[in-house]
Amino acid sequence: MVASFISIEGGEGAGKSTSIEYIKRKLQAAGIECIVTREPGGTPMAEDIRQLLLQHRDETVDPYTELLLMFAARRQHVENVIRPALAVGKWVICDRFTDASFAYQGFGRGLNTDFITNLKHWVHGDLNPDMTLLFDVDIAVGMARAGKRSDFDRIEKEEISFFERVRHGYLSQAEAEPQRYRIVDAAASIAGVEAQLDRYIDPLLIQLTNSGS
């Protein structure tokens, strides 16, 4: 199947936002209508939930509260943005999706992954990305890049061991679903990353041309 729902995953400062613009330009140049969106967020209400999630707080944030808010934002996003776009034939490029909940709340915070799987089925049923690009980079390199870009938010302030577990969580998911995942060596230069993206996306464009759609 030619991909129409592409998610972009990876750790802090891996270069996801930078590369999304490149992917969008590439698809548009091939005549594909696409939208770029992100999680948590993507609708006005879900962006409000994002603020709630990322702002610094004096009170302890319970990990299940964090998880449930991620999925509340996701439901709003799926119903109001992702499904309607796919329904009219647009491609969706999404900066993070449910795999991030497994990586951050499951592996990072240690929450029960069966519970996350149940939420996933309940919130978006059989809707899943057709292709997931995992931007993998050493934690120290990603953090240094993210630190140059802006101040750290609440989650970015976690300790290094948390981000090591998140990275392991992503790589485990990629290993479990090799048909969906494509790993990008995000330590490469921006041009080097773009060359890897070409290798993953060009075959889709050729497939699309051959199928005449």
By CB under 6 A, residue 96 contacts ligand Z5A: yes
Interatomic CA distance for residues 72 and 86, integer angstroms? 20
SS3 6: strand
User: Which one of residues 7, 37, 78, 95 is an interface residue with ligand Z5A (CB under 6 A)?
Assistant: 95
Which 134-163 positions form the footprint of ligand Z5A (CB under 6 A)?
A: 145-146, 148-149, 155-156
Which of the ranges 81-89, 114-122, 172-180, 183-191 carries the binding residues for ligand Z5A, by CB under 6 A?
Answer: 183-191
Interatomic CA distance for residues 1 and 136, integer angstroms? 25
User: Which one of residues 3, 5, 15, 129 is an interface residue with ligand Z5A (CB under 6 A)?
Assistant: 15
Q: How deeply is 188 buried, as exposed, middle or buried, from its count of CB atoms within 10 A (0-12, 13-18, 19+)?
A: middle
Contact 107, 166 (CB under 8 A): yes
Identity of the residue, 70 or 208, whose beta carbon is nearer to ligand Z5A in the bound complex = 70
By CB under 6 A, residue 18 contacts ligand Z5A: yes
Q: Which of 179, 196, 169, 126 is nearest to 3 (CA)?
A: 179
Identity of the residue, 40 or 208, whose beta carbon is nearer to ligand Z5A in the bound complex = 40
CA angle 55, 60, 64 (to 5 degrees): 90
By CB under 6 A, residue 169 contacts ligand Z5A: no
Identity of the residue, 24 or 145, whose beta carbon is nearer to ligand Z5A in the bound complex = 145
Identity of the residue, 2 or 200, whose beta carbon is nearer to ligand Z5A in the bound complex = 200
By CB under 6 A, residue 12 contacts ligand Z5A: yes
Identity of the residue, 189 or 211, whose beta carbon is nearer to ligand Z5A in the bound complex = 189
Interatomic CA distance for residues 199 and 213, integer angstroms? 21
Give helix then strand counts, H and E, for the chain: 9, 5
User: Which one of residues 40, 42, 129, 169 is an interface residue with ligand Z5A (CB under 6 A)?
Assistant: 40
By CB under 6 A, residue 17 contacts ligand Z5A: yes
Interatomic CA distance for residues 131 and 42, integer angstroms? 19
Q: Which residues bind ligand Z5A (CB under 6 A)?
A: 10, 12-18, 39-40, 70, 95-96, 100-101, 104-105, 145-146, 148-149, 155-156, 188-190, 193
